[in-house]
Every structure is written in structure tokens, then in C-alpha cells.
Amino acid sequence: MKRILLIEDDVEFAEILSEFLVEHGLYVAHEEDPYLALSRVKIDPFDLVILDLTLPGLDGLEVCKEIVKGVKIPVIISSARSDIKDKIEALEIGADDYLPKPYDARELLARINSVFRRLEEKPKSGKIKDITIEKEKRMVLLQNKRLQLTSAEYEIMAYFLQKEGHVISRQELINNIESIAKETGVKSIDVIIGRIRQKLGDDPKNPKYIHSIRGVGYQLIQ
């Protein structure tokens, strides 16, 4: 049975959500206090965290940072905060998904199952389906064939593979890719992504690998 930690200070909402998830075969533990939740997640073997952002005493984004940094458990943000900056920051610091309240519990269940499927399908060999990276040689291979990439293209692909499944904003790429000048505009990132897609044979209208996330950035999915 998959074990979920729900970090939520709205007790009534947490009870309703927990009952629904338990009915669908999941074990759910609930913590209102973010500090107690952080302590518990370090000692209990949870498979996933559902995290509210508005918590007493400690902002949920800080809680997310600590979880991702410490125990590498997937995190789904469940929040009434609608500011796009919160969503972008949550995804950039390592959250696996962001579900704005209010929502139907069935949608949350679908997203939970999606995260679990992605984790179970991820190869243990380090090879991510069609794409392999050889960091020592600064090479990216598509179905064992080397892609001819510029330095910026290689570094973006390496970053995508490192963050596979996470949504990455254009600004995050500018901040983390050494070959891209910090004063580079976000439109330039789109141009580079376009070139990478061509080399991957990726149709931007129906992509297999690099997906555009409207208003946020890009996501590598295989």
C-alpha cells in the first residue's frame, strides 16, 4: 500500500481528502504543523507528500525545499494560492505537480497515480528511455546515436535530463546554464529549444519529448 503524508492545516478539508484517498487504497497520515511534518517525513517511509503552501509558522515553499533536499520524496502542491510566481517557484524547487484549490478529489487521485506511474517506469540503469547522456564526453545520444549539439544545447538537455518530469521555466534555464548569458532574453531560450527539438525530431505541435507548459516553461517527458 502506498503511503502518503498530507501536510494541511485545514482539518476538515484534510479529513475529507484522507477518507477519499483511503477508500481508493492509499494509506494517509495527516500533519497540521509543518515542523512536525518535516520531522516525521525523515523517519517514516512515505511514498508521496501532498503539501499545502499556507501553513502556520513556516511557508509551504520552505517545507517543499526541505523535503526535496532531504529525503527525495515526490511532492504534490495543493494550494489556494493562485499567484503564478508561487506555482513557478514550487516547480523550480522540485515539486512534482501543483494543483490549485478548489479541486475535485478525483483529479488529485489521478495526479497521484500519474506520479507513481512515472516513478515506476523510470529505468534504474540511468538511461531515460530513448535518451542517454554521457557527461564525461559531454554527449547526448538519441537511441544510441550522438546528437550534434552546441554547448548551450547540450547543457540545456543535461539539465532537462537531471530534472526529468519537472516543469522548468525559461528563467531557470537562464540562471543555471553556464553557456547562456544572464542577460539573455526568454525568447532566445525558445529559439534554442526549437533547435533542440529539430535535432530530436520532435514535432512542437505533438511533442514526444519536450513539452511546452503554457505560461511556465518546458517539461521533458518520455
Q: Which residues of 109-131 are buried (b: 16+ CB within 10 A; e: fewer)?
A: bebbeebeeeeeeeeeeeebeeb
Q: What are 82-137's pLDDT values in tens digits? A: 788 888 888 888 898 999 998 999 999 999 998 888 777 654 444 446 898 888 88
| pLDDT score recorded for residue 51 | 96
- Distance of alpha carbon 99 from alpha carbon 94, whole angstroms: 14
Cell of 174: 537562464
pLDDT at 144: 86
Q: What is the pLDDT of residues 166-218, one digit of tens each?
A: 888 888 898 888 888 877 778 889 999 999 999 999 988 888 899 988 888 89
The answer to whether 130 and 142 have CB atoms below 8 angstroms apart is yes
Counting residues of the chain whose pLDDT is more than 70, the rounded percentage is 96
Sequence letter at residue 71: V
pLDDT for 118 equals 79
